[in-house]
Amino acid sequence: MSIRTTTAVDYVEDVSPGTGALPPRAWYASSDAASLSLNGSWRFRLSPTADAEDDSFAEPGFDAGHWAQIAVPGHWALQGHGSPIYTNHLYPFPVDPPRVPTENPTGDHLHVFDLPSDWPSDGGTVLRFDGVESCARVWLNGTDLGEFKGSRLPHEFAVGHLLQPGGNVLAVRVHQWSAGSYLEDQDQWWLPGVFRDVTLLHRPAGCVLDFFVHASYDHTTGEGTLKVESDVDGRVTVPALDIDVATGESVTVPVEPWTAETPRLYDGVLATEGERVPLRIGFRTVVLEDGLIKVNGTPLLFKGVNRHEWHPEKGRALDPETMREDVLLMKRHNVNAVRTSHYPPHPAFLELCDTYGLWVIDECDLETHGFVEQAWRDNPVDDDRWTPALLDRAARMVERDKNHPSVVIWSLGNEAGTGRGLTAMAEWIHHRDASRLVHYEGDIDCRDTDMYSRMYAFHEEVERIGRGLDGGTGKRRELPFVLCEFGHAMGNGPGGIADYQRLFETYDRLQGGFIWEWIDHGIKDERYGFAYGGDFGEELHDGNFVCDGLLFPDRKPSPGLVEYKKVIEPIRFEGDAADGTVRVRNAYDFADLSALAFVWSFQVDGVDVESGRLPVPPLGPGESAHVKLPRPPEAGDGETQWTVRALLASDTAWASAGHQVAWGQFPVAARPPVRVVPSGAPRSGDGRITLGPASFDARTGALMSIGAVDVTGLRLDVWRATTDNDDGAPWQSDVRHGPAWRKLGLHRMRHRLDAVEPTGDALTVRTRVAPAAREVALATVYRWTSDGDRLRLTVSVAPEGDWTVPLPRLGVRFGLSGAADRVRWFGGGPGEAYPDTRAASELRRWESTVDGLQTPYVRPQENGARADVRWAELGGLRIEGDPEFWFSARRWTNERLDAARHLTDLVPGDTVWVNLDHGQHGIGSQSCGPGPLPQYFLAAEPAEFSFVFSEVG
């Protein structure tokens, strides 16, 4: 064993991007050059420091038979070695760039492989790593190839001269922490490992090296111009366009353009003397013109999401099926754009975006957010020593991804402050690729960027920006605006996105936004269902801030995604019952309506009675038309409405025929009033008061039963298990209602009984509901009447004292037997809704189980309310609302829900707890953004509302 010097691992803390790797180039799959995937089971050894072991493991003949096995691609911390760490912006190590801790988990990876017998002996071979976190040193057959940083970027080494037919020894030493870690402070799990593919690529003599496909579209002539620049001369053929030109030569022909809505790709081939490479060409032109981002002459409206790569078991080691699932889910939910927050994705993801059609902001692997803690002092992006590393990252992204038509914007990175390094990156990118625009959010003056980008700006400010009243530098005033992050989808929410969309559609300058974020990064965990920050004993962590996506960790859509789908739907319906027409607007930017079929249906009391086709003319983008609805069917005195839908007319690449793209509903005849004519008086005896079908405790006035149905604990309820958005982020400057509610004591209201009055035709129970230590109260009167069969409860609430906060909810709750399971209702559904998340709530008859009503937020919180409920039935009871109400039911109390930290804490009891709410407070997005808009507040005001109970068979 050799004595190691301390310098053997100096590269770990070196700001340079590395040594030994080949220059970056386009990522492509050759038609004919051989390749060999080295993915699979590798030998693995974890050491506590970078220098605990010498490099003798890289020598041929080293016996690693006793080492563990690990899956490559993969993260060792998700395979039983060490554990994941979650921090949002804090570095989980002392900030002393470029130094890293002595405790630096280091994974030695070893893989022995044979070449296939037909592996060509001519030419060269490169070894490609598509992603290694955070720093790797590589040896092949005992030869040191070099080392690299830049976790989510490709690195290639020339290895042809080192390969042998059998028994090749590939050794990769991976350090969790390196100088590169300072540039990779994204809000996500720190997950070291060889997490993307490792591949051996044969490079025949005369092969293609790097090439750049320039394919523009002139919307005024309908012609596309193709020019392929190639390091090695060759020919470019595109059979469908009769193109056969030399590389470097440009050719102009009539084409169908590529857009995210109409992703027309032309197959071509780049052939050099030694290789054929398939091309997938999309003709489109991206420009900044008249202060707008335009593609093919048309301004874009981004209906986007921020996508981190995530899989609940594999972390950022995504398989192709998962990537495809992401794209299909986006397309099926009307999403038209992705920001690859905050690093270039696996290259296969971009191929999917080309194929299925999504606008992409490709973001560089760069974030130095932790420096905000020291007012950005020593920020690497403003320190020339780091500039080569930044330029290397920019080049590795641009060169790898430059041939994707879906990529329309390059992003310098995220949350890295400002500095000369960023300017250098922007200059390099603009110079290398003038055919795309440059994005970066952190520079309020837009010095380096082609658009004004912000995150989480409040509606009111966004409106001012839309009107151009936001001031700013001269340059910024001329630029279009995007919200690169908004609608923080943490837990229940985001609320208020329909209000943003309205602004985006009102002001041309506002070119849309990207919801934060696509998927919850929960880690599948036996203890908790899904784990989040802190569940692995991290000394610093940011809890469930890592679970803030539109998809749950298992990729089931959350109500937030269903809401977003509705808010951004590309067809808009506006009904006018009076003249029996519906106005249909094509809200696509490029597509006509030929892919869609339109249908109408007519509902009486929430049930379809008739349906048919709606003859919508073939509107072009932006056009609208009034379409006549048929004569409404006879409906007696029921509540009636039209529902119209836009469905896929035939199968597409991303969904089958019949898939619903958009819908709308319009009331016709209003709901008849709920009448209960009181007859008979309450009767007392045996410690009971009876009234119609109901029995009450004579002393407390508490409802005991309705017919054969036992009812427990019916009383006013104002508490909800606070949502992440109620709790808000600690740094928010506006009032955070969750903490304010708790401080006031709304989660521990006491109910003082003032009077039980069985008089006249009613039983009246007077109470005062208030928290200890406070003068605020809700004087609450329950008034019960009955017509003999049905029981009517009218609740009157009068606030007392100085209420400075809104209420979480206002209604009653009660317990039913745990046997209650099936729920039927006429109201909004199928999923949950709250005042500012109700766009997707569709009015009709619905059915569910009690369990089916729950939304499984990774950190349990208020969920599952159904809006606009006319009536609901469960546990043998029918409840009618006067007026309509919010309905929820669960097998645990709201207090248990509030106390739960993980889904596994929710254990069903033997009671089903039902909430009937007259009001709910809005949801907002304050976990990282604005709270609910004032119109969605549930003010503490005098209120009166009624429910009618009856027994059902």
Q: Which of 184, 399, 415, 563 is catalytic?
A: 415
β-sheet bridge partners, residue 750 = 770
Between 157 and 410, CB nearer to ligand IPT: 410
> In this structure, are residues 311 and 317 in contact, taking their beta carbons and an 8 Å threshold?
yes
Between 548 and 862, CB nearer to ligand IPT: 548
Between 410 and 545, CB nearer to ligand IPT: 545
Rounded Cα distance, 468 and 479, in Å: 10
Between 450 and 520, CB nearer to ligand IPT: 520
Report the nearest approach of ligand IPT to the CB of residue 484 (Å).
8
Report the nearest approach of ligand IPT to the CB of residue 828 (Å).
29
Between 415 and 862, CB nearer to ligand IPT: 415
Output the DSSP codes for 223-247: EEEEEEEESS-EEEEEGGGTEEEET
Report the nearest approach of ligand IPT to the CB of residue 697 (Å).
49
Rounded Cα distance, 327 and 652, in Å: 13
Residue matched to tokens 């086709």: 613
Residue matched to tokens 């991303």: 654
Report the nearest approach of ligand IPT to the CB of residue 343 (Å).
11
Query: Known catalytic residue: 415?
Result: yes
3-state secondary structure 243-295: EEEECCCEEEEECCCECCCCECCEEEEEEECCCEEEEEECCCCEEEECCEEEE
Q: Where does residue 349 fall: left (phi above 0), alpha (psi -120 to 50 degrees), or beta otherwise?
A: alpha
For the chain, percent helix, then strand, then coil, each to nearest 5?
15, 40, 45
Residue type present at position 877 = L
What are the phi and psi torsion angles at 708 (to 5°)? -85, 0
Rounded Cα distance, 857 and 836, in Å: 18
Residue type present at position 600 = W
Between 108 and 520, CB nearer to ligand IPT: 520
Other C-beta atoms within 10 Å of 508: how many? 15
Report the nearest approach of ligand IPT to the CB of residue 367 (Å).
7
Report the nearest approach of ligand IPT to the CB of residue 731 (Å).
7
Report the nearest approach of ligand IPT to the CB of residue 533 (Å).
12
Q: Which of 363, 485, 639, 880 is catalytic?
A: 485
The residue ranges that bind ligand IPT (CB under 6 A) are 88, 186-187, 342, 414-415, 455-456, 485, 488, 516, 545, 548, 928
Between 449 and 643, CB nearer to ligand IPT: 449
What would you measure as the largest C-alpha separation in the chain, in angstroms? Answer: 103
The residue of the chain with the least Cβ separation from ligand IPT equals: 187
- At a CB cut-off of 8 Å and minimum separation 6, what does 556 contact? none
Report the nearest approach of ligand IPT to the CB of residue 927 (Å).
8
Report the nearest approach of ligand IPT to the CB of residue 176 (Å).
20
Query: Known catalytic residue: 289?
Result: no
> In this structure, are residues 438 and 288 in contact, taking their beta carbons and an 8 Å threshold?
no
Residue 901 C-alpha from the chain's centroid: 21
Between 183 and 279, CB nearer to ligand IPT: 183
> In this structure, are residues 674 and 785 in contact, taking their beta carbons and an 8 Å threshold?
no
Between 95 and 779, CB nearer to ligand IPT: 95
What are the phi and psi torsion angles at 876 (to 5°)? 85, 5
Q: 105 exposed, middle or buried (CB, 10 Å; 0-12, 13-18, 19+)?
A: buried
What are the phi and psi torsion angles at 180 (to 5°)? -60, -25
Residue type present at position 305 = V
Residues known to be catalytic:
415, 485
